[in-house]
Amino acid sequence: MAANTEDFVIVGAKSSDANEHIAKPALSFWQDAWRRLKLNKLAVVSMWFLIFILGFAIVSNIFVTQNDANSFDSDNVGKYKNLPPKSGLPIPGWNGKIKEPGATESTDPYANSNVKKNYLFGTDTIGRSLGKRVIVGLRISLLVAISATLIDLLIGVSYGVFSGWKGGTIDVVMQRIIEIMSSVPNLIVVTMIGLLLGSGVTSIIIAIALTGWLSMARQVRNMTLSLKERDYVLAAKSLGESSTKIAIKHLIPNMAGTIIVQIMMTVPNAIMFEAVLSAINLGVKPPTASLGSLISDAQSMLQFYPYQILIPSAVLVLISLAFILLGDGLRDAFDPRASED
């Protein structure tokens, strides 16, 4: 007896289109990395904080110039020097009152000196606005750090790709050179180069860049050794692609995640090296201010006017911490094994 096909019912789907439906959309590598990064709230907050800081540093060139930050009234230094932060609100520490050296009670230097203007971050030892100098110092420190990091990127990626791609004796020799350079502490090398080149923004950038590329070169070389054995690289070689084109089209794009994470870790190191050089008088030339030079200049006044060192120190710490937290978040986002599923 022939079976009646009308008695059979397809279970689990109402149509063939439903069987072909993919419940979870396919994501590219960058889309998946962004999805993972958004799960790390600290990294996202750090990212937006750094975007705001970088944008503010660029826009601040319009309304706070270097001359504004360096200017002071030479005829009224005693009137405007060492004024505490004053916001105009009764906020402790920001109300314009401070305990002068040798005094037993807090006083209001603004009222005593008949100063009408409020300085949100106070003034320094010769009456310059500390807020303006911190803004200029932020720009200088970011300029030094980002410029040195870009040089590190250029040297480190080129050196690492060439070493890993060539392999053999060339790779061994190039890695021994890195090991020799790494055996000397970076701080000593940076200090010696700073002494050789003298103070100034350009010399600081060169000093930091000449030592910061070693870690980048190692990371890129390790990735190159792994990627050059992949099928798509071997196929490109078989088709006659030159080594330069293979590096640009296949190797570097596929290690972009590692490079970005390394950059995020290099920037705060460069900022700290700049601060150290400024602390030993190898930083920017006075009266130009950087965060490091502001901290160095205020060390002698820490006991009596702590705000002069605490404000630039807080900016330096927050920026460095934001880069580190964002770097950690990016490292987890680019690692496919860090899935929460």
pLDDT tens digit string along 190-215?
778 777 877 777 878 888 888 888 88
Average pLDDT on 3-26 reads 57
Name the nearest CA neighbour of 285 among 208, 201, 211. Answer: 201
Q: Who has greater pLDDT, 281 or 262?
A: 262
Q: Who has greater pLDDT, 100 or 320?
A: 320
Which amino acid, one-letter code, is at 197? L
Question: How would DSSP label each residue in 267-295?
Answer: HHHHHHHHHHHHHTT-SSPTT---HHHHH
340: confidence class by pLDDT, cuts 50, 70, 90: very low
pLDDT at 171: 87
Tens-place pLDDT, residues 74-83: 777 778 888 8
pLDDT at 339: 45
pLDDT of 337 strictly over 70: no
CA distances in angstroms from 156 to 169, 171, 214, listed in the order given = 19, 14, 6
Residues 6 or more apart whose Cβ sits within 8 Å of residue 20: none
8: confidence class by pLDDT, cuts 50, 70, 90: low
Q: Round the average pLDDT of the chain to a whole number and report it.
A: 81
pLDDT at 341: 43
Q: Which of 36-40, 227-231, 280-284, 324-328 has the lowest mean pLDDT?
A: 280-284
pLDDT of 295 strictly over 90: no
Stretch (H or E) spanning 223: helix 201-227
pLDDT of 15 strictly over 80: no
Average pLDDT on 45-56 reads 92
pLDDT at 49: 93
Coil vs helix vs strand at 237: helix
Coil vs helix vs strand at 214: helix
Report phi then psi at 123, rounded to 5.
-130, 165
Tens-place pLDDT, residues 273-285: 888 877 777 777 7
pLDDT of 100 strictly over 50: yes
pLDDT at 338: 46
pTM to 2 decimals?
Answer: 0.79
What top-level class would CATH report for the domain 45-65+129-338?
A: mainly alpha
9: confidence class by pLDDT, cuts 50, 70, 90: low
53: confidence class by pLDDT, cuts 50, 70, 90: very high
Tell me the HSE value of 22 on the side-chain side, using a 13 A CA sphere.
4
Both tokens of residue 62?
A: 């319009």
pLDDT at 52: 93
Both tokens of residue 134?
A: 């911190």
Name the nearest CA neighbour of 315 among 276, 268, 281, 280. Answer: 268
Q: Long-range pairs for 44-52 at CB < 8 Å and ≥24 separation?
A: 44/329, 45/325, 46/321, 46/322, 46/323, 46/325, 46/326, 46/329, 47/326, 47/329, 49/318, 49/322, 50/319, 50/322, 50/323, 50/326
Domain extents in the chain: 45-65+129-338
pLDDT at 45: 93
Q: Who has greater pLDDT, 6 or 213?
A: 213
